Chains A and B, each alone.
Chain A
Amino acid sequence: MNIDFVGLYNYWVVIFLMMVGFYTVIAYDNLVKKVVGLNIFQTAVFMMYISASKVDGGSVPIYSESIELYSNPLPHVLILTAIVVGVAITALALALIIRIKEAYGTINEDDIIRMDLEEDARRDKL
């Protein structure tokens, strides 16, 4: 089978980044690290869109009379706004983490689940 290495390399790195982010979310207990993992996952999506928008020999999509070929501006618009929304959502997640830290005294997921289970058991006894 004939695989075009240069033509597909970007997508492979996108998948690698996505899986690194996914692994961080499911394998680590620290909530801040999970948020960083989600952010890496998110940048993988950004990379995928922007890679798709590139045209070989194309130029930045700002009109000039001397330029014939432009890269696709639509994915740029989608990702530009997604980045700003992404940071707003990250802020919301971090605010939740701060509340969790204040309520439980830890941001370790396993400890939080254990404390919740103990609380449930105590309530059932009453």
Chain B
Amino acid sequence: MIESLINIILFTMLAATSLAVVRLHNLFAITMLFGVYSLLSAVIFVELDAVDVAFTEAAVGAGISTMLILSTLVITGHHEKNPKHGPWLPLVVVILTGAVLAWGTLDMPLFGSLDNPIHQHVAPRYIQDSPEEIGIPNMVTSVLASYRGYDTMGEVVVVFAALIGVLALIGINEKKCAKRQYSSDERPPRPVLQVMSKLLIPYIMLFALYVQFHGDFGPGGGFQAGVIFAAAIILYTLTFSLDDAFDLISPRVLRPLAAIGVLIYGGTGIVTMLLGGTFLNYSVLAGDPKSGQHYGILAIEFGVGLTVATVMMLIFYAFVSRGEKGKVE
């Protein structure tokens, strides 16, 4: 009973936040409120037992996408012109579509029931057999990295392709700005933030590595770890400067690393084929199938983490350098 109540309250809050996002006209406020919306989504995912998803949504939705929209607003400006045409036609379309969909829900299987069709097909096999077959407790990682390894490889390639798109469209301007020298009686800007982030960054990176390698046993894995690792570099860029970040990790290093991540994933598949198995069947990697699964999952999760981290950093670099330094010459 209390669980249903929490569920209903959280979903109502989410609906209210979405309305507030749409009704605002200052794009800066919209972006910040959208960050709140994402965090609220993450809370709902925890409440619905999807801890891995919540992890990803908190890091990606509330962290990276907010940053990306903000760095776009630097270039496009943050005031929205009022829409000139009346809101009535879209409103009628939306209400009609919504009403038809709501009518459709009356035949839907009820929330939370174990008899629902979704729980009958392959899910029981994943739940009952994966701890024995793959040998790791986190079923989400088993399904992600082993049973549905093809699917995940496709997703990693999509992320990589999106990076190529962003680099082709706006590129990264690597030209250095002239460094300002500070005289002895003048303090560099943001000293408190800089000291605090210097304290935080090593722990964020350590946490990213923990999430990466503990993903077999607890919530986490390559996707979440990659985004958290990128967040550390993004924090550094925000509190210091883009040129400092380029000195720390140059885009020239990151670009090949993004491709190498995809290569590690695909290469693991090729290795399993060379050893006589099928593509991405890790059981042949070691004498004992379970150890083989362990090695395989470790390798492809590393590939995923590498690609996601470098892609997120490069996309962030592209947006910020476009805003600060202008077009690539």
Q: CB within 8 Å of B: which residues of A?
A: 3-4, 6-13, 15-24, 26-30, 32-33, 35-37, 39-40, 43, 46-47, 50-56, 58-64, 69-77, 79-92, 94-99, 101-102, 107-108, 110
Name the contact of B139 in the complex, choosing from A70, A80, A90 (C-beta under 8 A): A70
Counted as pairs of residues, one from A and one from B, with CB atoms less than 8 Å apart, the total is 282
Interchain CA distance A60-B49 in the complex, whole Å? 5
Measured between C-beta atoms, what is the minimum distance from B78 to chain A in Å?
9
Let me know if B41 and A46 touch, CB within 8 A: yes
Determine the residue in chain B with the shortest Cβ distance to A9: B8
One of B69-77, B263-271, B285-293 at the interface: B69-77
Q: Which residues of A contact B57 (CB under 8 A)?
A: 46, 83
Determine the residue in chain B with the shortest Cβ distance to A22: B94
Determine the residue in chain B with the shortest Cβ distance to A55: B114
For chain B, the count of residues having a C-beta within 8 Å of the partner chain is 104
Let me know if A17 and B49 touch, CB within 8 A: no
Let me know if B131 and A63 touch, CB within 8 A: yes
Interface assignment of B277: CB less than 8 Å from any CB of chain A: no
Let me know if B83 and A76 touch, CB within 8 A: no
Interface assignment of B193: CB less than 8 Å from any CB of chain A: no
Name the contact of B69 in the complex, choosing from A35, A63, A101 (C-beta under 8 A): A35
Residues 12-53 (chain B) with a chain A CB within 8 angstroms: 12, 14-15, 18-19, 21-22, 27, 30-31, 34, 37-38, 41, 44-45, 48-53
Interface assignment of B278: CB less than 8 Å from any CB of chain A: no
Interchain CA distance A107-B72 in the complex, whole Å? 11
Interchain CA distance A58-B176 in the complex, whole Å? 55
Measured between C-beta atoms, what is the minimum distance from B94 to chain A in Å?
5
Measured between C-beta atoms, what is the minimum distance from A108 to chain B in Å?
6
Let me know if A56 and B112 touch, CB within 8 A: yes
Measured between C-beta atoms, what is the minimum distance from A76 to chain B in Å?
5
Let me know if A95 and B93 touch, CB within 8 A: no
Let me know if B162 and A98 touch, CB within 8 A: no
Interchain CA distance A64-B136 in the complex, whole Å? 11
One of B118-126, B179-187, B232-240, B242-250 at the interface: B118-126
Let me know if B139 and A73 touch, CB within 8 A: yes
Given known pairs A29-B83, A61-B140, A62-B219, the reply for A6 and B111 (CB within 8 Å) is yes
Interchain CA distance A73-B219 in the complex, whole Å? 12
Given known pairs A73-B139, A75-B118, A81-B151, the reply for A13 and B102 (CB within 8 Å) is no
Let me know if A74 and B123 touch, CB within 8 A: yes
Name the contact of A76 in the complex, choosing from B65, B140, B217 (C-beta under 8 A): B140
Q: Which residues of B contact A22 (CB under 8 A)?
A: 94, 97
